[in-house]
């Protein structure tokens, strides 16, 4: 039988007990160390933005915290500066447009369960501008046609970078196609005027891209051009 001196056992026991005790105290003390208030994901100006107040409820500095936003096809991460005791840090984090408009937001702090928030946007939220195209679907080579695009700001913000681009595969019009950029006040509408003169025949698709900041909407318009020589 092997006997171990109490002088050895007691210090080991005290060390193990102290480690367990302080581990429990740490997790209990820090279980509510961080909270998130006033959180939202919304269209602000010309961007999708995460707004949140990160609150340090503890009496200790919190370091190495981060915000992770998971979307359908990608992930965005932002590291937070150390938070002083009782400090409130306001986060303004631009986000890309998620294809399904769903955002899972995690606030991570070492050694504790992440805080999770979920947001889902309405489709109208990411379509701040309505576009109406006035263009005939039938054209004749050599004739000139009016082409009008009406852009209306349906958001609650002034928009300073609204772009409109069109493109066609092939050489079908005499006029060059080029992007145009305008600003739109809240609830304001503007018309973009131009003309198109067909130079070759064929059935074509005109692709349109409406851009508002980093948000893009795609649409198209089919035109049947007759007369002249078929292109291709």
Q: Is residue 112 domain-shared with residue 131, that is, in the same domain?
A: no
**Tens-place pLDDT, residues 155-191:** 878 888 899 999 999 999 999 998 999 999 988 999 9
Nearest to 152 by CA among 186, 110, 111: 186
Domain-terminating residue out of 95, 124, 153: 124
User: pLDDT tens for residues 72-120?
Assistant: 889 999 999 999 999 999 999 999 888 788 999 999 998 888 999 999 9
The whole domain housing 62 covers 35-124
Distance CA 145, CA 168 (A): 16
* Long-range contact pairs involving 59-66 (C-beta distance under 8 Å, separation at least 24): 59/85, 59/86, 60/30, 60/33, 60/85, 61/85, 62/33, 62/34, 62/109, 63/110, 64/109, 64/110, 65/34, 65/107, 65/108, 65/109, 66/107, 66/108
- Given 124, 140, 160, the domain boundary residue is 124
Share of the chain above pLDDT 90, in %: 60
Note whether 144 and 205 are same-domain residues.
yes
pTM of the predicted model as reported, rounded to 2 decimal places: 0.61
The CATH number for 217's domain is: 2.60.40.10
Q: Where residue 15 falls among pLDDT bands split at 50, 70, 90?
A: low
Q: Confidence band (pLDDT; 50, 70, 90) for 30?
A: very low
User: Would 135 be classed as within a structural domain?
Assistant: yes
140 and 217 both lie in a single domain: yes
Which of 84, 101, 124 is the C-terminal boundary of a domain?
124
Tally of structural domains, the chain = 2
Q: Within this chain, do residues 89 and 64 fall inside the same structural domain, yes or no?
A: yes
What is the distance between the alpha carbons of residues 103 and 119, in angstroms, rounded to a whole number?
5
Structural Rg of the chain based on CA atoms: 30
pLDDT of amino acid 20: 55
How high is the pLDDT of residue 17?
59
Encode 56-67: b = buried (16+ Cβ within 10 Å), e = exposed: bebeeebeebeb
Same domain (yes/no): 82, 148:
no
């Amino acid at each position: 039988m092997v006997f171990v001196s109490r002088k050895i056992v007691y210090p080991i026991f005290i060390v193990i007990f102290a480690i367990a005790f302080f581990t429990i105290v740490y997790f209990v003390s820090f279980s509510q160390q961080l909270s998130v208030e006033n959180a939202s994901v919304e269209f602000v100006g010309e961007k999708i933005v995460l707004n949140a107040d990160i609150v340090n409820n503890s009496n200790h500095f919190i370091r190495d915290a981060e915000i992770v936003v998971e979307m359908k096809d990608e992930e965005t991460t932002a590291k937070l500066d150390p938070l002083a005791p009782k400090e409130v840090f306001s986060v303004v984090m631009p986000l890309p447009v998620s294809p399904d408009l769903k955002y899972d937001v995690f606030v991570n702090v070492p050694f504790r369960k992440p805080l999770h928030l979920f947001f889902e946007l309405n489709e109208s939220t990411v379509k701040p501008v309505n576009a109406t195209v006035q263009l005939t679907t039938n054209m004749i080579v050599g004739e000139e046609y009016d082409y009008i695009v009406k852009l209306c700001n349906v958001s609650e913000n002034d928009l300073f970078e609204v772009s409109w681009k069109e493109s066609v595969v092939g050489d079908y019009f005499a006029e060059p196609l080029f992007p145009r950029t305008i600003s739109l006040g809240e609830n304001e509408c503007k018309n973009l005027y131009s003309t198109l003169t067909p130079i070759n025949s064929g059935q074509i698709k005109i692709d349109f891209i409406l851009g508002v900041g980093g948000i893009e909407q795609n649409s198209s318009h089919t035109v049947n051009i007759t007369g002249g020589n078929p292109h291709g």
